[in-house]
Amino acid sequence: MIESRQARHLSIEIIGVISSCFSEKFATPRQSGLAPSACARLKLIEPFNRVEMVRGLETFSHIWLHFIFHQVVADGWKTTVRPPRLGGSERKGVWATRSPHRPNFIGLSVVKLEDIKVSDGVELILSGGDLLDGTPVIDIKPYLPDSDSLPDANAGWSEKMFATLDVQFCSEAIRFCRRYERQTGAPLLSLISEVLCADPRPASQRDNRKEFAMLLWDVNVRWRMEADVCVVLSCEQQ
Amino acid sequence: MIESRQARHLSIEIIGVISSCFSEKFATPRQSGLAPSACARLKLIEPFNRVEMVRGLETFSHIWLHFIFHQVVADGWKTTVRPPRLGGSERKGVWATRSPHRPNFIGLSVVKLEDIKVSDGVELILSGGDLLDGTPVIDIKPYLPDSDSLPDANAGWSEKMFATLDVQFCSEAIRFCRRYERQTGAPLLSLISEVLCADPRPASQRDNRKEFAMLLWDVNVRWRMEADVCVVLSCEQQ
C-alpha cells in the first residue's frame, strides 16, 4: 500500500553535534529543565549549517532537539526498563518511558535557545538541557506552545516526582567554584547544586555512604550523603 | 573524539504504521490538536509490538510520536520554506519551522492516547493527530507535562495564529454525515468542521471562489468559500 511497508529501514543523517558541560553519562540530568545552568552548544554540520536555514529561529525562546543516545547504542535496546523515578524496583515497557535503551535510540529534549552564532557556520547556544557532550543531533524544531504545551496532560506513572536533596559545599569547594567561574564564565556552583539536588545516584546505591564523583566540563566533583544532606567534598580540575 | 563524528549516517527502523482519517496530504491539519475528532490507529510492527513494551503506557493521557513525512521524501528538503501561517509570503529557515521539507523528514506530534489494543500484536488508538494515513512511525514516548509543557515559551513568529473560518453545511451534506456516523461510528461532521475551520486552502488560492475537495476516510468532501463562510457542498462515499 505504501512504500514504507516494504522498506523498513531509513537512513538518517547527523545534522550537528552537541558540546556540553556533561562530560560523562553519570549525573547527566534525566530530563531537560532540571538544571537551568546546564550549558551546551550545537554546532551544525555542512550542508545543514547554512545561515538561511536558521532565519527566524531567533524569535523562539525554546527549541526541540531530536538526538541519538549514542552512548547506549552498543548495548542495544530493551523491551522493559526500571525507571529511576520509581526507585529502580518496578519495570515499565520501554514505550512507556523516556529511557535511552529504546529502539532507534532517539531522544527528545526541549532546551532554551540563548543565542545563535553565525560566523564560520552556525552554532546554537543552549541552556537547560540534559545532553551529553558529543551527542549527535538529527533534527531541530521550534517549540510551539499552542500545540506542544499541555499542562493538564496526565503524567501517568511519572506523577511520582524525583526526590530532591539539600546540597551543601565544603568551603574549599566553594572557593574552587568561584575561581573557576571567574576564569571561565561557567556557572559551576549553581550547576553542581542543580545536578545534585535531583539526586543522580543509581537507585541501587542510595542506601550507603559511598563517595561519588562526576565530571562537569573538566572539573571532577566528589560528593557524599551525610545524613539527608548531599555534601560536595571537593572540586578538582583534570 | 566520538564515533558519531566519523559516521554521519544512521540506520533507523520503522516501528509502526499509522491508519488515519486523513487519506491524502491536502487538508491534513498543520499541527496536532487542531482537529480533536481526528482518529488514528498506530499498529506496531514486530519485534516492536510485544505486549510488555507498552506496560504502563495506559497511565498517560498523551504521547509523542516521532514519524517520517513519507510523502515529501521524494521531493527532498529545502533550506527555507514559506509557512502557511504567514500567508505564504514570507520565507523562514527550515530549522525555524515544523515544515515537512526538512533534512531527515522527521515529524513530531503529540496525540491523545484513547486506548491500547493488545490482541494480535499491539495497536494504539489515538485522537487529535495531524498524521496522514500510512505514516511510518519511528518512536513513541509518553508526554511528561513537567518537562514538556512550557506554556510561557515564546512562540516567535508563530504567534500569528491560523485564521479560523465559519463552516456551514448544505442540508444534504448534513444528512450524509449523520448516516455515515450511524453506519461507521466515525465523527465525520465534527471532523469536517474542525478541518475546514482551520482553513486548509493553500495561501496562493485563498482569493478565489474555487471549489475544493478533500478525502476523509473514504468520503470525498467538496466545499467553497461564499463570502466569508466556508460552505460544505457535498459529501460522497468513494
pLDDT, one tens digit per residue, over B224-236 is: 999 889 999 999 9
Show which of residues 158-197 on chain A sit within 8 Å of chain B, judged by CB atoms: 158, 161
Buried b (16+ CB within 10 A) or exposed e, B140-170: bbbbbbebbbbeebebbbbeeebeebebebe
**CA distances (Å), origin A15, targets A9, B68, B91:** 19, 16, 21
Same domain, residue pair A68 and A118: yes
Instruction: Determine the residue of chain A that is closest to B96 in CA distance.
Output: A57
Q: What is the CATH number of the domain that holds A212?
A: 3.30.2310.20
Nearest CA to B59 among A110, A33, A90, A89? A90
| pLDDT band at residue B162 using 50, 70 and 90 as cut-offs | low
Pairwise CB contact (< 8 Å): B143 & A136 = no
Same domain, residue pair B17 and B120: yes
List of residues 6+ apart from B199 with CB closer than 8 A:
B162, B163, B164, B165, B206, B230
Domain count for chain B: 2
Q: Is the pLDDT of residue B5 over 70?
A: no
> Which pLDDT value is given to residue B65?
98
Q: What is the CATH number of the domain that holds A131?
A: 2.40.30.70
> Which pLDDT value is given to residue A5?
45
Same domain, residue pair B121 and B181: no
The last residue of one of the domains, among A102, A130, A156, is A156
Instruction: For cell 514570507, name the residue.
Output: B90
Domain encompassing residue A98: 3-156
Q: Is A30 an interface residue toward B (CB < 8 Å)?
A: no
| pLDDT band at residue B110 using 50, 70 and 90 as cut-offs | very high
CB A98 within 8 A of CB A130: no
Q: Is B103 an interface residue toward A (CB < 8 Å)?
A: yes
Same domain, residue pair A71 and A29: yes
Cα dihedral sign for A66, B80, B16, B113? Answer: positive
Same domain, residue pair B148 and B70: yes
Cα dihedral sign for A190, A193, A194, A200? Answer: positive
> Which pLDDT value is given to residue A80?
98
**CA distances (Å), origin A173, targets A179, A236, B58:** 10, 9, 46
The last residue of one of the domains, among A122, A156, A190, is A156
Rounded to the nearest angstrom, the minimum Cα separation between B209 and chain A is 30
Burial status of residue A1 (CB atoms within 10 A of its CB: 0-12, 13-18, 19 or more)? exposed
ipTM, 2 dp: 0.92
Same domain, residue pair A188 and A132: no
Q: Is B93 an interface residue toward A (CB < 8 Å)?
A: yes
Same domain, residue pair B98 and B170: no
Instruction: Determine the residue of chain B that is closest to A62 in CA distance.
Output: B153
Same domain, residue pair B109 and B209: no
Residue A6 has phi, psi (to 5 degrees) of -85, -55
* pLDDT tens, position by position, A27-54: 898 888 889 999 999 999 999 999 999 9
The last residue of one of the domains, among B105, B137, B156, is B156
**CA distances (Å), origin B229, targets A151, B203, B234:** 33, 17, 15
Residues composing chain B: 238
Instruction: Determine the residue of chain A that is closest to B29 in CA distance.
Output: A147
Instruction: Determine the residue of chain B that is closest to A122 in CA distance.
Output: B95
Which helix (H) or strand (E) segment holds residue A213: the answer is: strand A211-216
Q: Is the pLDDT of residue A140 over 50?
A: yes
* pLDDT tens, position by position, B214-224: 999 999 999 99
Mean pLDDT of chain A: 92
Q: How many angstroms separate the CA atoms of A101 and A81, rounded?
A: 8
Instruction: For cell 498506530, name the residue.
Output: B42
What's the whole-number mean pLDDT along residues B161-174? 89
Rounded to the nearest angstrom, the minimum Cα separation between A64 and chain B is 10
Rounded to the nearest angstrom, the minimum Cα separation between B172 and chain A is 33
Same domain, residue pair A15 and A84: yes
Q: Render B77-125 in DSSP notation, one character per residue.
A: --SEE--GGGTT-S-EEGGGS--SSSGGGEEEEEEEEEEEE-SSS-EEE
Partner residue facing B68 (CB), from A10, A94, A157? A10
Strand segments, DSSP code E, in A21-165 are 39-44, 62-68, 80-81, 92-93, 106-117, 123-127, 136-142
Same domain, residue pair A173 and A81: no
Q: Between B188-197 and B171-184, two packed helices, what is the crossing angle to 10 degrees?
A: 130
Cα A15 from chain centroid (whole Å): 18
Q: Is the pLDDT of residue B204 over 90?
A: no
Residues β-bridged to residue B155: A60
Q: Is A78 an interface residue toward B (CB < 8 Å)?
A: no
**Three-class SS state of B34:** coil
Partner residue facing B94 (CB), from A53, A97, A158? A53
CA-derived radius of gyration, chain A: 19
Q: How many angstroms separate the CA atoms of B87 and B223, rounded?
A: 20
Q: Is A154 an interface residue toward B (CB < 8 Å)?
A: yes
**Three-class SS state of A17:** strand
Q: Is the pLDDT of residue B38 over 70?
A: yes
* pLDDT tens, position by position, A119-133: 888 999 999 999 999
Q: Is the pLDDT of residue A1 over 60?
A: no
Partner residue facing A136 (CB), from B4, B34, B152? B4
Rounded to the nearest angstrom, the minimum Cα separation between A82 and chain B is 12
Pairwise CB contact (< 8 Å): A61 & B153 = yes
Take residue B168 and report the three cell numbers written for it.
Answer: 456551514
| pLDDT band at residue A2 using 50, 70 and 90 as cut-offs | very low
Take residue A203 and report the three cell numbers written for it.
Answer: 537507585
Take residue A37 and report the three cell numbers written for it.
Answer: 545552568
Same domain, residue pair A150 and A98: yes
Same domain, residue pair A138 and A171: no
What dihedral angle (degrees, nearest 10) is formed by the CA atoms of B72, B78, B82, B85? 60
Q: Is B76 an interface residue toward A (CB < 8 Å)?
A: no
Chain A residues in contact with B64 by the CB 8 A cut-off are 108
Q: Is the pLDDT of residue A108 over 90?
A: yes
